[in-house]
Chain A
Amino acid sequence: MKYIDEFQDPELARRLLDEIRATVTRPWALMEVCGGQTHSIIRHGLDQLLPDEVELIHGPGCPVCVTPLEVIDKALEIASRPEVIFCSFGDMLRVPGTGRDLFQVRGEGGDVRVVYSPLDALRIAQQNPDREVVFFGIGFETTAPPNAMTVHQASRHGVKNFSMLVSHVRVPPAIEAIMSSPSCRVQGFLAAGHVCSVMGMEEYPELAERFRVPIVVTGFEPLDILEGVRRTVAQLERGEHIVDNAYARAVRPEGNPAARAMLEDVFEVTDRAWRGIGVIPDSGWRLSPKYRDHDAEHRFSVEGIRTEEPAECRSGEVLQGLLKPHECAAFGTLCTPRTPLGATMVSSEGACAAYYLYRRLDVPAATAREASPVV
């Protein structure tokens, strides 16, 4: 695909790696915020190819992983109702709630459907006027504009049987929470490229200044990630801490004004609980009162939900970069992709699943470099 393949070029990757190697003089711990970036890093083996001094800590950038247990349980409850067609992105189907997941609800007779776009759910609502259609609106700022537009359309076209269960999360408060933690080891951030495509870069200089960390807006293909690392390490070596855009082809400083305007209209900021981390103030979006008619939280009163996380699950520490997945006692034994205890094992870019799927093979980094040249 044009503008994807070129950014996977092995020769250019080698040059970027060489450049990083030539620049780095001491250990640095970087965090990539976005789950899509984690996926790319692990899938291409980038963390194995980087010099040992550069450590990548996988941040809580997976909306699947951080969606609060309570919200999952609400989704399960709503999806179980016979009058409901419950539509969701594929990612959410296997996330464990208290005792079950959406897949199992489907197995018990619930009408649970995977869609590619929230507009597909709206169309299902228009085609099934006698059913209640609910869309599971999760995601970061990238997914919020599509979800917002869908609610806006539902309202405009009077699709009364459509509602959305919203649980959006925002990146800047998460960075703030991570950096404010006393045990935080992160020295530099690879900011989420597509989040910034929407929101621009305005929210980051204050964070870079306050916490004295470089924040480099980074894309998703191997060359993009290596370039993000290169620029972050270069700043760290020079003692700088500014916001830099390494994904200029898809990110403008002001983001997408039309999308931001829609977000202002459809959503309002709220406190949000992040699974495994806790409540981060002002870190989420919910539907504004104007769109109450399409808010699934209001339409379906979900009472008496008792959430319960498995005691062994340490997703929270993994999400904050305090624990590596294989350091968790349950990793690979009690907790596997087939029998996940927490969301970080379910989502394909949850740190635990990524480790399990791609890193069970214990190949020392040096051996990997000697044995598998990047050409």
Chain B
Amino acid sequence: MSDLDLTSWTCPAPLRDRPRVVMGHGGGGALSAELVQQIFAPAFGGEVLAQMGDAAVLSLGGARLAFSTDSYVVRPLFFPGGSIGDLAVNGTVNDLAMSGARAAYLSCGFILEEGVELETVTRVAEALGAAARTAGVEVATGDTKVVEAGHGDGIYVNTAGIGVVPAGVDLRPQRVVPGDVVIVSGAIGVHGVAVMSVREGLEFGVEIESDCAALGGLVDTMLAVTPDLHVLRDPTRGGLAASLNEIAAASGAGVVVRERDVPVPPAVANACAILGLDPMYIANEGKLVAFVPREHADAVLDAMRAHPLGADSTIIGEAVEAHPGMVVARTGLGGTRVVDLPLGEQLPRIC
């Protein structure tokens, strides 16, 4: 085992072994990362893209702006606690918030499948509008396209957003140092389980609604304590495990997580138990994970807990010097396990 080159696992398989796109490429895990690293990044080039942040931080005309885009392909369109409209706003607002920016304006592109009921389009549009007002962001421009029936899942939405990054705020994984405290803003796995509960083939009844929410306000309260937070991430696809792994890999620090401190609602834990899934890999849409300099941790935690979206914030671990680039969990029994980057989609299992 000691001969094993711990960095070699990031070396991707040659893409010619997988000539077509598979669902896993959209899963937010290692396959998605490969697609970007091997196809998009080389094709586009550019310094800003090379940063690989959730949002791009740009200098333009003297202002420091955060700029981000996301596409929403969720099925079903409406799920307990939200819809594709809510996700389309909050997802992009949150990407900007992770750079410290308050989203000011959004663009919004719709791809509609021929034959979709206009009533459905209206419901989605209204949800989107309401979410934008709640988040304090304005939809400034948009586009609509229609594809032939059978070529879409009803409705796809893309939003892009822009906002100003406050002075003194520099949030990116490269700022993480050993000793940083890892804080999560609340219980994990909620959104993913809510969506799964109504997905065909997996239906189950559960009192869980998506946690979809705009995090700009929460981030503001954290930055008010100190602008010197190191990195923020909203753990969407791939869950907490994906975000921690991305940060560990990009920063070169190791990350230790104490499983018993990670808040998981019983309904999420139980749904995962039935399907054989790990809550660490399940999507969240209204949570963030923060790496905070140790000296500010308590104050930031208090500020988060005072905010409605951070009431259940907890310290779950820290950045360490050991096992650089790797996320390791202390199990409830005191053992250790490596928490790997998810490969692709999380699939229910019988074993």
- Among B20, B334, B349, B351, max chain A CB count under 10 A is at B351
- Among B1, B340, B347, B349, max chain A CB count under 10 A is at B349
Check A372–B8 contact: CB distance below 8 A: no
Check A373–B337 contact: CB distance below 8 A: no
Among A44, A108, A336, A359, point to the contact of B332 (Cβ < 8 A). A44
Contact with A along B275-312 (1 / 0, CB 8 A): 11000000000000000000000000000000000000
Check A45–B336 contact: CB distance below 8 A: yes
- A374 at interface, CB cutoff 8 A: yes
Docked Cα-Cα span, A175 to B20, in Å, equals 41
Chain A residue, CB-CB nearest to B25: A107
Contact with A along B307-346 (1 / 0, CB 8 A): 0000000000000000100101011111111101001100
Chain B: number of interface residues, binned into ranges: 35 or more
Query: Assuming A103-B22, A338-B30, A362-B1, is B351 touching A347 (CB within 8 A)?
Result: yes
Check B349–A91 contact: CB distance below 8 A: yes
- B118 at interface, CB cutoff 8 A: no
Chain B residue, CB-CB nearest to A34: B351
Chain A residue, CB-CB nearest to B327: A361
Check A349–B351 contact: CB distance below 8 A: yes
Docked Cα-Cα span, A177 to B287, in Å, equals 51
| A window 1-52: CB within 8 A of B | 1, 4, 8, 10, 13, 35-36, 39, 42-46, 48-49
Query: Assuming A44-B335, A89-B349, A337-B340, is B21 touching A107 (CB within 8 A)?
Result: yes
- What residues on A are CB-neighbors of B334 within 8 Å? 10, 45, 49, 368, 372-375
Docked Cα-Cα span, A64 to B350, in Å, equals 10
- What residues on B are CB-neighbors of A107 within 8 Å? 20-23
Check B31–A357 contact: CB distance below 8 A: no
Contact with B along A318-342 (1 / 0, CB 8 A): 0000000010000111001111000
Among B9, B273, B338, B347, point to the contact of A90 (Cβ < 8 A). B347
Check A35–B23 contact: CB distance below 8 A: no
- B61 at interface, CB cutoff 8 A: no
- A311 at interface, CB cutoff 8 A: no
| A window 274-296: CB within 8 A of B | none
The interface residues of chain B, by DSSP majority, are classed as loop
Check B333–A326 contact: CB distance below 8 A: no
Q: How many residues belonging to A are interface residues under a CB distance threshold of 8 Å?
A: 60
Check A114–B201 contact: CB distance below 8 A: yes
| A window 92-115: CB within 8 A of B | 93-94, 103-104, 106-108, 113-115
Query: Assuming A35-B351, A106-B22, is B202 touching A116 (CB within 8 A)?
Result: yes
Taking the closest CB of chain A, its distance from the CB of B201, in whole angstroms, is 5
Query: Assuming A108-B20, A116-B202, is B332 touching A338 (CB within 8 A)?
Result: no
- B129 at interface, CB cutoff 8 A: no
Check A48–B336 contact: CB distance below 8 A: yes
Among A44, A114, A339, point to the contact of B348 (Cβ < 8 A). A114
- B134 at interface, CB cutoff 8 A: no
Chain A residue, CB-CB nearest to B20: A107
Docked Cα-Cα span, A372 to B330, in Å, equals 8
Among A13, A36, A43, A336, point to the contact of B351 (Cβ < 8 A). A36
Query: Assuming A114-B348, A338-B13, A360-B326, is B23 touching A10 (CB within 8 A)?
Result: no
- What residues on B are CB-neighbors of A91 within 8 Å? 347, 349-351
Docked Cα-Cα span, A48 to B331, in Å, equals 11
Chain A residue, CB-CB nearest to B278: A43
- A120 at interface, CB cutoff 8 A: yes
Taking the closest CB of chain A, its distance from the CB of B212, in whole angstroms, is 24
Docked Cα-Cα span, A104 to B30, in Å, equals 16
- What residues on B are CB-neighbors of A372 within 8 Å? 330, 334-336
Contact with A along B250-288 (1 / 0, CB 8 A): 000000000000000010011001011000000000000
- A245 at interface, CB cutoff 8 A: no
Taking the closest CB of chain B, its distance from the CB of A11, in whole angstroms, is 10
Taking the closest CB of chain B, its distance from the CB of A188, in whole angstroms, is 22
Check B22–A358 contact: CB distance below 8 A: no
- A258 at interface, CB cutoff 8 A: no
Check B338–A62 contact: CB distance below 8 A: no
- A60 at interface, CB cutoff 8 A: no
Chain A residue, CB-CB nearest to B13: A339
Docked Cα-Cα span, A48 to B8, in Å, equals 25
Chain B residue, CB-CB nearest to A355: B1
- A145 at interface, CB cutoff 8 A: no
Check B23–A103 contact: CB distance below 8 A: yes
Check B201–A116 contact: CB distance below 8 A: yes
Minimum-distance CB pairs A-B, first 9: A45-B335, A90-B347, A374-B334, A372-B334, A358-B337, A107-B22, A339-B13, A107-B20, A90-B348
What would be 24 A-B contacts, judged by CB atoms less than 8 Å apart?
Answer: A1-B269, A4-B273, A10-B332, A36-B351, A39-B351, A42-B337, A49-B335, A94-B343, A106-B23, A107-B23, A108-B20, A116-B202, A332-B5, A333-B8, A338-B30, A339-B17, A348-B349, A357-B337, A360-B4, A360-B9, A360-B326, A361-B323, A368-B334, A372-B334
Chain A residues within CB distance 8 Å of chain B = 1, 4, 8, 10, 13, 35-36, 39, 42-46, 48-49, 62-64, 89-91, 93-94, 103-104, 106-108, 113-116, 120, 139, 143, 222, 326, 331-333, 336-339, 347-349, 356-363, 368, 372-375
Chain B residues within CB distance 8 Å of chain A = 1-2, 4-6, 8-9, 12-13, 17-18, 20-24, 30-31, 201-202, 266, 269-270, 273, 275-276, 323, 326, 328, 330-338, 340, 343-344, 347-351
